[in-house]
């Protein structure tokens, strides 16, 4: 199990590095969007390639940062219901979700996106818009993003198995409940209002 945990730590380190660097593309997308909008309003000039580049950059961030999101437990869950269950039940829910839903989902998307990308690449598919970008780089993102997410899913399964064996602490014990988060936020707001009145 220790070898698997070492593999999991390596995967987590890599996905953190990828996520942190890729997330900077949001800033680039915002800059491109701002410049494009400014040029369009002032000079009445626009470019489809800049518009499409914004969408591609957002797609890169969305797909390539999804493993980092899973790693940090920031993915969409029904936390209100999840916190009602005991820790052991939550562990089983996470394990079943990863093994029977996330992994097959990633495998199916990788399997179907490879021919989707290859056809586009072989045809050198271009945008239907004038001066648009080639389509095949954007279509490759599905395959790459799902492959990274699958690797992170393996890491999460390893960690969940270690948690269930008692080799790692359960992150759910460290998580605050919705009521605790609300209470902390209310306290912070009361302190901020009191400070403003003084």
Return the pLDDT at 142. 94
Residue located via tokens 């970008």: 133
How far, in Å, CA of 174 to CA of 82, rounded? 14
- Residues whose CB is less than 8 angstroms from the CB of residue 160 and which lie 6 or more positions away in sequence, other chains included: 91, 94, 95, 98
SS3 for 164? helix
Count of CB atoms within 10 A of residue 160's CB? Answer: 23
State which H helix or E strand residue 153 sits in: helix 136-164
**Residue 109 contacts residue 146 (beta carbons within 8 Å):** yes
Mean pLDDT (whole number) for 90-103: 90
pLDDT at residue 53 is higher than 70: yes
SS3 for 170? coil
- What is this structure's pTM? 0.79
What tokens does 155 get? 């890491």
Return the pLDDT at 141. 94
81 or 120, greater pLDDT: 120
Return the pLDDT at 187. 78
């Amino acid at each position: 199990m220790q070898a698997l945990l070492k593999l999991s730590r390596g995967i987590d380190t890599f996905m953190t590095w990828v996520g942190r660097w890729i997330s900077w593309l949001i800033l680039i997308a915002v800059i491109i969007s701002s410049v494009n909008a400014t040029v369009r309003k002032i000079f009445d000039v626009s470019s489809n390639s800049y518009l499409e580049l914004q969408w591609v950059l957002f797609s890169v961030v969305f797909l390539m940062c999804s493993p980092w999101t899973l790693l940090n437990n920031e993915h969409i869950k029904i936390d209100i219901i999840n916190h009602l269950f005991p820790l052991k039940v939550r562990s089983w829910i996470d394990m079943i979700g990863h093994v029977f839903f996330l992994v097959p989902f990633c495998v199916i998307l990788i399997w179907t996106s490879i021919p989707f990308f290859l056809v586009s690449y072989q045809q050198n598919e271009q945008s239907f818009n004038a001066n648009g970008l080639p389509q095949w780089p954007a279509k490759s993102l599905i395959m790459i993003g799902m492959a990274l997410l699958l690797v992170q899913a393996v890491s999460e399964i390893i960690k969940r198995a270690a948690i269930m064996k008692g080799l790692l602490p359960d992150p759910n014990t460290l998580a605050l409940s919705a009521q605790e988060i609300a209470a902390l936020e209310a306290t912070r707001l009361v302190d901020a209002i009191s400070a403003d009145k003084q």
